[in-house]
């Protein structure tokens, strides 16, 4: 009985917080937009019966997504931005995680604190403050102008560069923490053994440290890539009109066009795209757990 | 005995493979190794023996290149190796934790060092196969380290460190993680491998039995200093101080005042109203100098009657008997409540043994059976 209960709880959780909402969104994506409240048809009614209701659902909205190139361009652009920022986050996060794992024992708790500290402030406020830093009259330009490094203010805000800065800044803890965990576990005598057997420091890093932190790297990359793909706040606030991301398109369909069915179709496709990396991520985690036990 | 033939340390003309010259290693204000001077010769199986924390690993790490001496220098085959980084030394180390690469299988672990040398593929395969055969690991070549037993892991570590045919192999407590039976088997295997490959081995251990079994010479260390360096039998039979005598095997230490009683002979007055003990010694003691007579339990005879011809006899009462199968140790209380141990081989069955608790017995030994020590 206990075991059944333990197994049932996560499934109930999944049902209530993922499958039911997803079914609702899926249903809306199969409806038609209408001047109504809520703004789509058909509405389910008991008099007409479920047969008549189901008969009115169709895949029109999904077909529509393929007719307007805005959508596939937005998906592609999101994938590209997510991939690039994941790579950037990895390139910046790995050395930080490495330095943390190598730092003297008594410093590590403090360093860990510093990585987590930004979560104590609202995400929105932190992204807004980047507007203050990156804008033409922002702190960064003032500093660089003041130092005489540049003579004209740089245009960063409302470009892709600002989006990358925002994403790397926001998601870097998700990259650092799993890599740090992997490097922290790494026995330093393995590096010494590699050196003893003829490796230079750099070679030992490539042949031992990197492969042994592989699971941390993979976990970190997924933890950054998955939320970045549907990211909406950062491209809206920092990316300006030139940055095309599917999260932004989705928001505009819902709130500007009030086209819930198309917006839902966009969301359904996004979820389907995300399922691939999520499944891969799960497999990686499982492999890691097996390797540890 | 072939071991007698191999004794380069007695030959003044022999060039040592390793020379420690006044080597000191400090960590902050803590001195881990103090002013150590030591020669180790080619083909030796040299054991560093001492309690935990006495600086054995630190010495090894200086040889491997992971620690730099604070002062003094270390020579390998006549070359000062202090500035040479670990990956450029003809020295390999078998780590206390084995340090096997968990992401590589047994074959790749053994091949790791050879690949770094850029060895041609065929020669590499041959060398790895040879190492697998030497350590009886052929069947496990494709397994990952976590898929084999502790004893097998230990052999992989050994094969990996031997693969590059180093001039010197360092083994840091190589059998620390094995159970007793496997340990003994492995000790003999290790000696066999050392003989076959002709490599110089320096082994660290805190197990005196292990050091005595495998080594051509043993260095006993304490708190970063060498106390005695000698062959296992010399260490056992002629320890140079109470610390060594006590560290290696079981020993009775009887403290007393030494008086000269003829050429190289002394008497030790150890308790009021008791006959002084006779002891032979090459050392000179000033009259009434405080001295320690060290005598091994197996050299002390236990008898019911006072033996007529023994040089030293003490009467006592059996306090305790430890039956260890092949031998029994008698704990005998003598004058002044002092406890002495005597060991006899159990050639007779347990019920036929002569003595039991509270029996009054005589302990006896000859003047040459013990060693007289100054400290
Ligand atoms: N890197 C280090 N920093 C500070 N102290 C050390 C370091 N390495 C070893 N020590 C100290 O040196 C002493 C000798 O250590 P070690 O050589 O490992 O002893 P053993 O191998 O004989 O048990 C110990 O007291 C240890 O705490
Ligand atoms: Mg040690």
Q: Do B116 and A203 touch (CB under 8 A)?
A: yes
Residues of chain B contacting A291 with CB distance shorter than 8 Å: 146
At A127-137, the pLDDT tens digits run 999 999 999 99
Identify the domain boundary among A26, A49, A64. Answer: A64
Which listed ligand is nearest to B56 at the C-alpha? 1
How many whole angstroms from B27 Cα to the centroid of ligand 1? 8
Which listed ligand is nearest to B97 at the C-alpha? 2
Alpha-carbon torsion, ordered A113, A114, A117, A118, to 10 deg: -150
Residues A124 and A150 in one domain: yes
Which listed ligand is nearest to B67 at the C-alpha? 1
Residue A77: predicted pLDDT:
94
Average pLDDT rounded to a whole number, residues B274-301: 88
Q: Do A197 and B101 touch (CB under 8 A)?
A: no
Residue B2: predicted pLDDT:
46
Residues B263 and B240 in one domain: no
Residues A218 and A286 in one domain: yes
Tokens 């049902």 belong to A15
How many whole angstroms from B50 Cα to the centroid of ligand 1? 13
Question: Checking phi first, is residue A44 left (phi over 0); if not, alpha (psi -120 to 50) or beta?
Answer: beta
Residues 6+ apart with CB under 8 A from A114: none
Residues B181 and B298 in one domain: no
> What is the Cα gyration radius of chain B?
25
Which listed ligand is nearest to B225 at the C-alpha? 1
> What is the Cα gyration radius of chain A?
24
Parallel, antiparallel, or unpaired for β B277-280 and B312-323? Answer: unpaired
Chain A nearest-CA distance from B57, in A, is 13
Average pLDDT rounded to a whole number, residues B232-257: 90
A36 has a pLDDT exceeding 90: no
The CATH number of residue B274's host domain is 2.40.50.140
Residues A3 and A107 in one domain: no
Residues B106 and B217 in one domain: yes
Residues B350 and B210 in one domain: no
Residues A4 and A93 in one domain: no
Residues A43 and A109 in one domain: no
B198 vs B239: CA distance, rounded Å: 29
Ligand 1 atom closest to residue B173's alpha carbon, by position in its atom list: 21
C-alpha to C-alpha distances, A267 to A22, A63, A223, A235, B323, nearest whole angstrom: 9, 14, 19, 17, 81
Residues B287 and B237 in one domain: no
Residue B352: predicted pLDDT:
55
Closest CA to B92 of B126, B72, B65: B65
Closest CA to B312 of B354, B357, B358, B261: B261
- Residue B1: pLDDT band (50, 70, 90) is very low
Residues B187 and B274 in one domain: no
B317 vs B331: CA distance, rounded Å: 9
Q: Do A193 and B101 touch (CB under 8 A)?
A: yes
Average pLDDT rounded to a whole number, residues A31-35: 86
At A128-171, the pLDDT tens digits run 999 999 999 999 999 999 999 899 999 999 999 999 999 999 99
Average pLDDT rounded to a whole number, residues B148-155: 92
Residue A196: predicted pLDDT:
95
Identify the domain boundary among B227, B245, B263. Answer: B245
Residues B200 and B318 in one domain: no
Identify the domain boundary among B245, B280, B309. Answer: B245
Parallel, antiparallel, or unpaired for β B217-222 and B200-205? Answer: unpaired
Residues A207 and A275 in one domain: yes
Residues A82 and A36 in one domain: no
Domain range enclosing B190: 2-245
Helix (H) or strand (E) holding B278: strand B277-280
Of A187, A203, A212, the CB nearest to B99: A187
For chain B, the domain total comes to 2
Identify the domain boundary among A49, A64, A79. Answer: A64
**pTM score of the predicted model:** 0.82
Q: Which residue of A has its CA nearest to B112?
A: A197
How many whole angstroms from A191 Cα to the centroid of ligand 1? 19
Identify the domain boundary among B224, B245, B266. Answer: B245
Would you say B201 and B161 are in contact if contact means Cβ atoms under 8 Å apart?
A: no
Residues A127 and A269 in one domain: yes
Mutate to test the interface with B, among A186, A187, A197, A215 (most CBs of B within 10 A): A197
Q: Do A197 and B116 touch (CB under 8 A)?
A: yes
Q: Which residue of B has its CA nearest to A202?
A: B87
B103 vs A207: CA distance, rounded Å: 10
Q: Output DSSP code: residue A255.
A: I
Candidates B23, B28, B29, B32: which one to mutate for ligand 1, based on the most atoms within 8 Å of Cβ?
Answer: B32
Of A197, A211, A212, the CB nearest to B112: A197
Measured from the Cβ of residue A159, the count of other Cβ atoms closer than 10 Å reads 17
B52 vs B207: CA distance, rounded Å: 10
Residues 6+ apart with CB under 8 A from A285: A219
How many whole angstroms from B66 Cα to the centroid of ligand 1? 13
Q: Do A203 and B112 touch (CB under 8 A)?
A: no
Tell me which residue has its CA closest to atom 19 in ligand 1.
Answer: B53
Ligand 1 atom closest to residue B27's alpha carbon, by position in its atom list: 4
The CATH number of residue A179's host domain is 1.10.3720.10
Q: Do B97 and A203 touch (CB under 8 A)?
A: no
Residue B358: predicted pLDDT:
84
Of A187, A198, A199, the CB nearest to B97: A187
Mean pLDDT: which of B6-10, B132-136, B353-357 is highest?
Answer: B132-136
Closest CA to B103 of A190, A277, A26, A141: A190
- Residue B305: pLDDT band (50, 70, 90) is confident
B144 vs B53: CA distance, rounded Å: 32
Average pLDDT rounded to a whole number, residues B127-150: 93
Residues B272 and B240 in one domain: no
Q: Do A193 and B103 touch (CB under 8 A)?
A: no
At A84-93, the pLDDT tens digits run 999 999 999 9
The CATH number of residue B119's host domain is 3.40.50.300
Which listed ligand is nearest to B176 at the C-alpha? 2
Ligand 1 atom closest to residue B224's alpha carbon, by position in its atom list: 14
Domain range enclosing A137: 68-292
Which tokens in the block code for residue A32?
């038609």
Ligand 1 atom closest to residue B61's alpha carbon, by position in its atom list: 17
Candidates B24, B25, B58, B64: which one to mutate for ligand 1, based on the most atoms within 8 Å of Cβ?
Answer: B58
At B179-219, the pLDDT tens digits run 888 888 888 888 988 988 889 999 998 888 889 889 999 99
Residues B257 and B230 in one domain: no
Residue B186: predicted pLDDT:
84
A192 has a pLDDT exceeding 80: yes
How many whole angstroms from A131 Cα to the centroid of ligand 2? 56
Give the A-side interface with B, CB within 8 Å.
Answer: 187, 189-190, 192-200, 203, 208, 211-212, 214, 291
Reported residue count of chain B is: 375
Q: Taking the CA of residue B25 as centre, how many other CA atoms within 13 Å lie in the half-sphere pointing to its CB?
A: 26
Ligand 1 atom closest to residue B59's alpha carbon, by position in its atom list: 17
Residue A286: predicted pLDDT:
86
Residue B4: predicted pLDDT:
53
Which tokens in the block code for residue A129?
């403050």
Tokens 């006495």 belong to B54
Identify the domain boundary among A64, A80, A113. Answer: A64
Residues B153 and B281 in one domain: no
Q: Which residue of B has its CA nearest to A208?
A: B101
Q: Share the mean pLDDT of chain A.
A: 90
Residue A292: predicted pLDDT:
64
Residues A85 and A59 in one domain: no
Ligand 1 atom closest to residue B204's alpha carbon, by position in its atom list: 21
Average pLDDT rounded to a whole number, residues B139-152: 93
A39 has a pLDDT exceeding 90: no
Helix (H) or strand (E) holding B319: strand B312-323
For chain A, the domain total comes to 2
Residues B315 and B358 in one domain: yes
Of B92, B96, B97, the CB nearest to A196: B92
B174 vs B155: CA distance, rounded Å: 9
- The string of DSSP letters for A189-254 reads HHHHHHHHTT--HHHHIIIIIHHHTHHHHHHHHHHHHHHHHT--HHHHHHSTTT---HHHHHHIII
Which tokens in the block code for residue A240?
């300006």
Residues of chain B contacting A196 with CB distance shorter than 8 Å: 64-65, 86-87, 91-93, 161
Pocket of ligand 1 (CB under 6 A): B 27, 30, 32, 50, 52-58
Residues A56 and A73 in one domain: no
Residues A190 and A268 in one domain: yes
C-alpha to C-alpha distances, A68 to A143, A236, A248, nearest whole angstrom: 44, 21, 16
Residues B279 and B157 in one domain: no
Tell me which residue has its CA closest to atom 26 in ligand 1.
Answer: B53
Q: Share the mean pLDDT of chain B.
A: 89
A219 vs B1: CA distance, rounded Å: 62
Of A189, A195, A208, the CB nearest to B87: A195
Residues A127 and A213 in one domain: yes
Residues of chain A contacting B87 with CB distance shorter than 8 Å: 195-200
Lowest mean pLDDT among A101-105, B165-169, B287-291: B287-291
Which tokens in the block code for residue B132?
């697998």
B351 has a pLDDT exceeding 70: no
């Amino acid at each position: 009985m206990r075991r059944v209960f333990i197994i049932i709880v996560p499934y109930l959780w999944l049902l209530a917080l993922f499958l039911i909402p997803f079914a609702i969104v899926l249903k809306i994506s199969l409806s038609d937009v209408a001047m109504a409240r809520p703004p789509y048809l058909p509405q389910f009614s008991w008099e007409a019966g479920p047969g008549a209701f189901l008969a009115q659902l169709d895949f029109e909205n999904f077909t529509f997504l393929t007719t307007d190139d805005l959508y596939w361009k937005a998906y592609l652009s999101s994938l590209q931005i997510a991939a690039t920022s994941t790579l950037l986050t990895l390139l910046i996060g790995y050395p930080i995680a490495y330095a943390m794992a190598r730092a003297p024992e008594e410093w590590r708790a403090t360093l860990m604190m510093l990585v987590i500290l930004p979560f104590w402030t609202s995400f929105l406020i932190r992204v807004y403050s980047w507007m203050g830093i990156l804008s033409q009259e922002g702190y960064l330009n003032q500093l660089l102008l003041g130092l005489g490094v540049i003579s004209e203010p740089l245009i960063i805000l409302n470009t892709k560069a600002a989006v990358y800065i925002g994403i790397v800044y926001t998601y870097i803890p998700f990259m650092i923490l799993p890599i740090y965990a992997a490097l922290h576990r790494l026995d330093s005598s393995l590096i010494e053994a590699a050196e003893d057997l003829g490796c230079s420091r750099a070679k030992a890093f490539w042949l031992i440290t990197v492969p042994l932190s592989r699971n941390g790297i993979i976990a970190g990359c997924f933890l950054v890539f998955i939320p970045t793909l549907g990211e909406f706040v950062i491209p809206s606030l920092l990316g300006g009109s030139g940055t095309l991301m599917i999260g932004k398109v989705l928001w505009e369909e819902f709130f500007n066009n009030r086209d819930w069915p198309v917006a839902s179709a966009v969301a359904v496709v996004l979820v389907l795209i995300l399922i691939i990396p999520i499944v891969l991520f799960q497999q990686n985690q499982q492999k890691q757990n097996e390797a540890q036990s | 005995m072939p071991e007698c033939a191999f004794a380069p340390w007695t030959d003044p003309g022999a060039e040592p493979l390793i020379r420690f010259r006044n080597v000191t290693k400090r960590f902050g204000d803590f001195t881990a190794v103090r002013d150590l001077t030591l020669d180790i010769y080619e083909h030796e199986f040299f054991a560093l023996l001492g309690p935990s924390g006495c600086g054995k690993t630190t010495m090894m790490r200086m040889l491997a290149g992971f620690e730099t001496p604070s002062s003094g220098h270390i020579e390998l085959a006549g070359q000062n190796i202090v500035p040479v980084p670990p990956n450029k030394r003809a020295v390999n180390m078998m780590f206390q934790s084995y340090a096997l690469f968990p992401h590589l299988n047994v074959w790749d672990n053994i091949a790791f060092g050879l690949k770094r040398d850029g060895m041609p593929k065929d020669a590499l395969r041959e060398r790895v196969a040879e190492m697998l055969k030497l350590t009886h690991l052929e069947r496990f070549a494709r397994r990952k380290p976590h898929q084999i037993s502790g004893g097998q892991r230990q052999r992989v570590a050994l094969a990996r460190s031997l693969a590059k045919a180093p001039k010197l192999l360092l083994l840091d407590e190589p059998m620390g993680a094995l159970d007793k039976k496997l340990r003994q088997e492995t000790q003999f295997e290790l000696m066999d491998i050392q003989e076959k490959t002709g490599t110089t081995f320096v082994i660290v251990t805190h197990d005196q039995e292990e050091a005595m079994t495998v080594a051509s010479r043993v260095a006993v260390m304490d708190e970063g200093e060498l106390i005695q360096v000698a062959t296992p039998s010399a260490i056992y039979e002629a320890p140079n101080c109470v610390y060594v005598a006590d560290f290696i095997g079981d020993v009775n230490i009887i403290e007393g005042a030494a008086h000269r009683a003829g050429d190289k002979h002394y008497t030790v007055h150890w308790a009021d109203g008791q006959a002084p003990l006779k002891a032979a010694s090459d050392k000179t003691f000033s009259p009434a100098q405080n001295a320690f007579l060290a005598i091994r339990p197996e050299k002390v005879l236990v008898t019911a009657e006072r033996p007529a011809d023994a040089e030293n006899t003490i009467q006592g009462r059996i306090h305790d008997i430890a039956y260890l199968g092949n031998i029994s140790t008698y704990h005998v209380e003598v004058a002044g409540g002092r406890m002495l141990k005597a060991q006899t081989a159990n050639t007779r069955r347990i019920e036929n043994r002569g003595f039991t608790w509270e029996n009054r017995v005589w302990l006896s030994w000859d003047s040459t059976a013990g060693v007289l020590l100054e400290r």
